[in-house]
Every structure is written in C-alpha cells, then in structure tokens.
Amino acid sequence: MTNIDIIILPVTDQPQARQFYLQLGFDIIAEAPADQGQTWLQMALPGQPVTIALMKFHGIIIETADIEMEVRQLRQKGIDVGDIDDQPWGRFAWFKDPAGNGLCLRQKAR
C-alpha cells in the first residue's frame, strides 16, 4: 500500500453536498454514472493528491502498485479480502476493518 487515494464520504443529498464542497473551494475531478443509478462524484482541493468522493456509502481507497500481492499478503494475515474486481479505471479489492469501515485496495489502470 502506497497512499490514501480517495476518501468516500456518505451523503444523502449529492447535489447539495456537491454545492457545499464547491463553495469550500474543491474542484470536480470526475463526475460519471456509477452502479445502481448513482453518480460517481470525485472532488479535490486544487493541487492536492488525496480526493473525496460523495456517495451513498463510506470507504477509504488505498493505492497499490501490485493488488494481487497485497491481497495475498492480507489474506495470509487472516484479513478477509473480497475478490479483485477489474474495471476500465482500475482493479479493486474491498475489505473491512473490525468496526465495519470499508477499505479498498486500488491498482490504477495501465
């Protein structure tokens, strides 16, 4: 794991949250259709590498250069990691901490 990439904040009213973060000075990085009729809305402060996504769920996406190795190592440590999900924008594997917080490994698309 190399760095925190995206922090997913749960919101109930995405347009209202979008406007709030724009007023705070965040820029829109990506806005695209997502699963289950949602819109993926990713924002960041200008020039900052860590972004936020405003969605109906929470999570932290952690970047990795080798997702297969990371998943294997986490499973060897007894951590229950889901299957690797290949998407056009990267490869993902979700797991949870003991409190149920969602964590996700992400290997960027090449």
Tell me: the pLDDT tens digits for 3-51?
Answer: 999 999 999 999 999 999 999 999 999 999 888 788 999 999 999 999 9
The DSSP code sequence of the chain is --EEEEEEEE-S-HHHHHHHHHHHT-EEEEEEE-GGG-EEEEEE-TT-S-EEEEESS-EEEEE-S-HHHHHHHHHHTT---PPPEEETTEEEEEEE-TT--EEEEEEE--
User: Does the pLDDT of residue 98 top 90, yes or no?
Assistant: yes
Task: Supply the pTM of this predicted model.
Answer: 0.88
Residue 79 belongs to domain with CATH number? 3.10.180.10
Domain with 20, as residue range(s), is: 1-56
Q: Which residues pair with 60 in a beta bridge?
A: 7, 103
Tell me which of 20, 39, 56 is where a domain ends: 56
- pLDDT tens digits, residue range 55-67? 999 999 999 999 9
Q: How confident is the model at residue 89 (pLDDT cuts 50, 70, 90)?
A: confident
In order of 16, 19, 23, 109, the CA distances from 60 in angstroms are 22, 22, 23, 18
Q: How confident is the model at residue 109 (pLDDT cuts 50, 70, 90)?
A: confident
CB 44 within 8 A of CB 30: no
Same structural domain, 51 and 90: no
End-to-end alpha-carbon separation of the chain, Å? 17
Same structural domain, 46 and 73: no
Number of domains in the chain: 2
